[in-house]
Amino acid sequence: MKITFKLNGKTVQVEAPSDASLLWTLRERLELTGTKFGCGAALCGACTVHLDGIPTRACITPLSMVSRRSVTTIEGLSEDQSHPLQKAWVEAQVPQCGYCQSGQIMQAAALLENTKNPSREQIVAYMNGVICRCGTYTRIIKAIEMAAKER
């Protein structure tokens, strides 16, 4: 099938098998590998992207579902690591292995879009679907609070 959608602000068209998922199309066909595969079952959040602005698990999103819609991935969050969250992530030295962090940042970005100054409780509730095995949680909270302040 041929699917057209907006990816990080640009219209793209991909040819993919009918069972193609958004996650693997991004990663293997469009070579935007910042979006990660962690569980394939909407359990870990590593694959989080924005679909029309809503944080969405790409692993369980069929490619056909994004037709004519708008997808933002970590690569599209900013051109130059200048999103307040990316800056805060460096400032607070959040990532360890880094594998979960695209998902963490995309989930957090959606939070800050809707909630200017999230409380700690709001942060924790909103971020709970994204697992970090390395245990960077306390720094994630700190970085989100820093970014919210900067905005």
Question: Residues in the site for ligand FES, rule: CB under 6 A?
Answer: 37-40, 42-47, 57, 59, 95-101, 132-134, 136
Task: Collapse the DSSP code of 11 into the 3-class scheme (helix H, G, I; strand E, B; otherwise coil) and give the result.
Answer: strand
Rounded distance, CA 57 to CA 40, Å? 9
Cβ closest to ligand FES, residue 37 vs residue 65: 37
Q: Which of other proteins, ligand FES, none binds 14 (CB below 5-8 Å, type-dependent)?
A: none
Tokens for 26? Answer: 């991004």
Q: Which of residues 90-109 bind other proteins (CB under 8 A)?
A: 90, 93-102, 105
The only residue of 122, 131, 145, 146 in contact with other proteins, by rule CB under 8 A: 131
C-alpha distances (whole Å) from 88 to each of 99, 107, 129 are 17, 15, 21
Considering only 6, 12, 33, 60, the residue that binds other proteins (CB under 8 A) is 33
Q: Give the one entry of ligand FES, other proteins, none that residue 124 binds, where binding means its C-beta sits below a cut-off of 5 to 8 angstroms depending on kind.
A: other proteins
Tell me how far CA of residue 51 lies from CA of 72, 102, 117, 119, 144, in angstroms. 7, 15, 23, 25, 21
**Cα distances (angstroms) measured from residue 60 to each of 43, 64, 100:** 10, 11, 17
Binding site residues, other proteins, CB under 8 A: 16-17, 19-21, 24, 27-28, 31-41, 43-44, 46, 73-75, 77-78, 81, 85-86, 89-90, 93-102, 105, 124-125, 127-141
